[in-house]
């Protein structure tokens, strides 16, 4: 029975990776025409009411409330910064590079857990962290002729998301996933609207990097199809969150978590089919090092955790 549940959970997890990959296609597709903040605003307007539906499904009434509002708002701000910098990387890099850099997520979370939470990490996990970050450097190649500023924005995105995971661990004892999703969507919407004057304040900047142009581009009235596409990002997020929650409710987290890495071949497929992108050898080698290190970190956490305690790898109500 357990094996059957694990298989079903893994299937939901793979489907979740496939669904959320559509988000990357949408952002790449319309990112050259609209501002990142404009896309975020329409996405948030769709996502916010959906969080209330999630809240009702949890058996609650009224609006979500929290005993730690400051922590919720800081978490929401970190998510906003993570998602925005992630989008900035998406419009400038091949999809395979973006996903490969995101493989440093478990490594970054482990490092921050040591620095911020005082968790103990043995020499083997330290070695895995070093190997994983060497893999990331192979992908980014700072100082080389092929260096792309967009890779730095993806790395910044990973850093902020790791901070989000740390805060989520503090909040999940008192706030439900729907509550966290509600507050993060509120912050997304507020931050996007507050930054509306940014293009006028910065002024015209010719020959600016595509990642930066994506944020400072003035808003423009979307066509009806584009408006529907932007709004659909909220539905994609909701479907991803449901599938992810379903996956981890069926399967053991330590068994299912490694299958989140299926996002790399999925995004490589989209990159090749739609934009004819072929990953470089440095990307493939770097991704292999980061992937292997991340999997080893997950394995060591499973081995070293107290008996009977499952890995805390539930959905973070994130992107």
Query: What is the secondary structure of 197-232 as a DSSP string?
Result: THHHHH---TT--HHHHHHHSPP-PPPHHHHHHHHH
pLDDT greater than 60 at residue 306:
no
Percentage above 90 pLDDT, the chain:
55
Asked whether the whole model's pTM tops 0.75, one would answer yes
- For residue 249, the model assigns a pLDDT of 80
Phi-psi bin for 175: left (phi > 0), alpha (psi -120 to 50), beta? beta
Local confidence band at 226 (pLDDT 50, 70, 90 cut-offs): very high
Task: Tell me which of 307 and 264 has the higher pLDDT.
Answer: 264
Average pLDDT of the chain, as a whole number: 88
- For residue 314, the model assigns a pLDDT of 46
CA-closest candidate to residue 237, choices 32, 40, 36: 40
Contact (Cβ atoms closer than 8 angstroms) between residue 238 and residue 57: no
- For residue 319, the model assigns a pLDDT of 61
Local confidence band at 313 (pLDDT 50, 70, 90 cut-offs): very low
- For residue 139, the model assigns a pLDDT of 94
pLDDT greater than 80 at residue 176:
yes
Cα 172 to the center of its chain, rounded Å: 18
- For residue 305, the model assigns a pLDDT of 61
Task: Provide the token pair at 162.
Answer: 């790791």
Cα 60 to Cα 175: distance, rounded to the nearest angstrom: 12
**Per-residue model confidence as pLDDT tens digits over 191-212:** 999 998 988 888 777 789 999 9
Residue with tokens 């769709």: 46
- For residue 119, the model assigns a pLDDT of 79
Task: Give the residue-averaged pLDDT of 43-65.
Answer: 90
- DSSP category for residue 259: G
Task: Give the residue-averaged pLDDT of 101-108.
Answer: 87
Weakest-pLDDT range from 23-37, 48-62, 188-202, 299-313? 299-313
* CA dist 102 → 60, 68, 162, 290, 306 (Å): 34, 29, 11, 9, 28
pLDDT greater than 70 at residue 315:
no
- For residue 112, the model assigns a pLDDT of 87
- Contacts with 139 (C-beta within 8 Å, 6 or more apart), sequence order: 97, 100, 101, 151, 282, 283, 286, 287, 290
Among 37-41, 114-118, 300-304, name the most confident range.
37-41
- For residue 18, the model assigns a pLDDT of 94
- Contacts with 45 (C-beta within 8 Å, 6 or more apart), sequence order: 189, 231, 234
pLDDT greater than 50 at residue 1:
no
**Per-residue model confidence as pLDDT tens digits over 136-150:** 999 999 988 889 999
pLDDT greater than 70 at residue 312:
no
Weakest-pLDDT range from 40-44, 46-50, 204-208? 204-208
Task: Give the residue-averaged pLDDT of 240-268.
Answer: 84
Local confidence band at 307 (pLDDT 50, 70, 90 cut-offs): low
């Amino acid at each position: 029975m357990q094996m059957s549940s694990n298989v079903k959970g893994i299937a939901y997890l793979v489907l979740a990776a496939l669904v959320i990959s559509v988000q990357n296609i949408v952002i790449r597709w319309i990112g050259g025409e609209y501002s990142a903040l404009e896309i975020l605003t329409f996405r948030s307007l769709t996502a916010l009411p959906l969080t209330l539906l999630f809240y009702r499904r949890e058996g609650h009434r009224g609006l979500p409330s929290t005993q730690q509002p400051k922590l919720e708002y800081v978490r929401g701000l970190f998510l906003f910064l993570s998602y925005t910098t992630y989008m900035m990387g998406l419009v400038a890099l091949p999809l395979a590079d973006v996903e490969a850099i995101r493989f440093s997520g478990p490594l970054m979370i482990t490092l921050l857990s040591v620095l911020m939470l005082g968790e103990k990490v043995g020499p083997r996990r330290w070695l895995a962290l070093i190997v994983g970050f060497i893999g990331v450097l192979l992908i980014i190649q700072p100082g080389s002729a092929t260096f792309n500023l967009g890779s730095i924005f993806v790395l910044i995105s990973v850093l902020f998301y790791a901070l989000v995971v740390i805060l989520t661990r503090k909040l999940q004892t008192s706030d439900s996933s729907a509550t966290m999703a509600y507050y993060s969507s509120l912050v997304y919407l507020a931050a996007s609207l507050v930054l509306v004057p940014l293009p006028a304040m910065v002024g015209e900047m010719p020959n600016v990097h595509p990642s930066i142009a994506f944020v400072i581009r003035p808003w423009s009235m979307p066509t009806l199809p584009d408006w529907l596409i932007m709004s659909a990002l909220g539905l994609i997020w909701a479907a991803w969150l449901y599938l992810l929650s379903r996956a981890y409710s069926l399967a053991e987290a330590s068994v299912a978590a490694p299958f989140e890495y299926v996002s790399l071949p999925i995004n490589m497929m989209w990159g090749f089919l739609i934009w004819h992108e072929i990953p470089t050898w440095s990307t493939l080698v770097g991704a292999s090092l980061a992937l292997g290190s991340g999997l080893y970190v997950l394995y060591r956490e499973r081995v070293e955790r107290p008996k009977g305690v499952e890995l805390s790898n539930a959905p973070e109500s994130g992107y």
